[in-house]
Amino acid sequence: MTHAIKTRHKLAIHGGPATIAKAFPAYNPYGSEEVEAATSVIRTGVLSQYIGAWHADFLGGPKVRAFEAAWSDYFGVRYGVAVNSATSGLAAAVGAIGIEPGDEVIVSPWTMSASATAIVVWNGIPVFADIDPQTFNLDVGAIRRAITKRTRAIVVTDIFGHPADMNGIMALAKEHKLKVIEDAAQAPAARCGDAYAGTTADIGVFSLNYHKHIHTGEGGMCVTNDQGLAERMQLIRNHAESVVAGKGTENISNMIGFNFRLGEIEAAMGLQQLRKLNQAAQAKTRAGTRLSAGLEGLRGLATPTVKPGCTHVYYVYALTLDETLIGVPRVRLAQALAAEGVPGVMNGYINVHLLPMYQKRIAHGSRGYPWRAAGEDSRVSYAKGICPVAEHMHDRGMLGIQTCAHDFSDDQVDLVIEAFRKVWDQLDDLR
């Protein structure tokens, strides 16, 4: 017999050789452009140029303003307001739309915690609506069912890099006179039709933190087409309480100032990073598409959905699992894949409503605020069971890869596919 018998390597978790022997290098979007941009700011000696009083420099220095202009130009919106994180940006946005203590704001349980915290900061009450099992984004029907007479706004996240159903959400919001804030931190440059994620809501918020597609270390950007909202966010960003008198601002509600300012170095780097956004987003789309082609057909595994006309920029590559079809618990699969060297394996994702803050209703101080302030008739529930889809995905249904943490070249993607196929070939050994 001359033809070789295909050797089947043992799973790495059982002592066999790992499919991916050498760790992928960490994602690094910086080049000499950012080094030059940062050092040129340092040479000027002015690393931040805001003045926290009503003054020409209230809106920040030249790099901040240039970065805002470039960002709003790229995204086709009228105003960009640079901030020092998306968390700050979300807080500025919720304050800007005029939330009153006790107002309800609908939000996804399947998002980074800051999407919901931004509501609590203003003594608003987060109301969690369930997600769509295909895109993991807020489900429009679930939002509709969560609306009460107290509802004032929706914070919608474009989770994992796929845009939320903004047509459906904006139509519903219009019908009920609700404001919409879109947390596009994970989806810069993702599109549905001609619309970029983050641009169709009243306010869109982007992140520039170290883990995102493009970054400046820390940073964020709010976008809006509404001049009044832009002004209110600019005020909240920079000590509003000390500024409104000089500026002659009439509506001083929520003009509690913070320091949400982005510095000149970050803005200068952001200008360079923005020029690389197309390429960064397309690289992720390419990696996700290639992964899906390679993983198609594995038993009990469904590759991520991309809605017709939309693009997915794969901050996370999220598979859905049917554990009963596979016959192996998710945690075991995740361990086997990690042992094969697959980087950033996620054994589920967060359920924000189950965090201690909501379970114990302890946020401002220790006595139940803001929920107590909302009054006895506020019956918002955070019990397990209110968001069955998000809970199922958290407990059993979703297995992800943090695609944003590495470049994921074609060769690397192929290794990941090989690792999955090896594990799926030997499911019996994991049972």
Ligand X SMILES: *Cc1c(COP(=O)(O)O)cnc(C)c1O
What's the closest the beta carbon of residue 368 comes to ligand X, in angstroms? 26
Nearer CB in complex with ligand X: 306/352: 352
**How many alpha carbons lie under 13 Å from residue 42 in its C-beta half-sphere?**
7
* Residue with smaller CB distance to ligand X, 182 or 340: 182
* Closest of 179, 161, 17, 44 to residue 105, by C-alpha: 179
CB of 15 to ligand X, least distance (A): 37
Give min distance, CB of 26 to ligand X, in A.
Answer: 17
List the end-to-end C-alpha distance of the chain, in Å, as a whole number.
34
Residue carrying the six token digits 């995905």? 393
We find the least distance from the C-beta atom of residue 428 to ligand X, in angstroms, to be: 37
- For residue 284 the two structure tokens come to 């992720």
Nearer to ligand X, 111 or 254 (CB): 111
Nearer to ligand X, 87 or 272 (CB): 87
Helices (H), 122-263: 140-146, 166-176, 227-237, 240-247
Smallest distance from ligand X to CB 169, Å: 16
Comparing CB distances to ligand X, the nearer of 169 and 185 is 185
| Residues forming the site for ligand X (CB under 6 A) | 85-87, 111-112, 114-115, 157, 183, 185-186, 207, 209, 220
Q: Which residues pair with 319 in a beta bridge?
A: 399
**Cα(292)–Cα(314) distance, rounded to whole angstroms?**
11
Sign of dihedral through CA atoms 405, 119, 307, 133?
positive
Take residue 174 and report the two structure tokens written for it.
């219009």
Strand partners, 202: none
List of residues 6+ apart from 398 with CB closer than 8 A: 136, 318, 319, 320, 321, 346, 348, 349
Contact residues for 417 (Cβ-Cβ < 8 A; gap 6+):
290, 291, 294, 295
Q: 402 is written with which tokens?
A: 């943090």
- Return the number of the residue (200 or 207) whose C-beta is nearest ligand X: 207
Q: What residue type is assigned to position 30 of the chain?
A: Y
Compare residues 67 and 424 and give the one whose CB is closer to ligand X: 67
Spatial distance between the Cα atoms of 313 and 14, rounded to a whole number of angstroms: 34
> Quick one: tokens of 183?
């947390």
* Contact yes or no for 399/347 (Cβ under 8 A): yes
Q: Which residue has the tokens 């002004």?
A: 231
92 vs 146, which CB is nearer to ligand X?
A: 92
Q: For the CB of residue 217, give the shortest distance to ligand X in the complex, in Å.
A: 10
Provide the minimum distance between the beta carbon of 209 and ligand X in the complex, in angstroms, as a whole number: 4
Q: Rounded to the nearest whole angstrom, what is the least distance from the CB of residue 21 to ligand X in the complex?
A: 31
Shortest distance (Å) from residue 192 CB to ligand X: 17
Of 114 and 173, which CB lies nearer to ligand X in the complex structure? 114
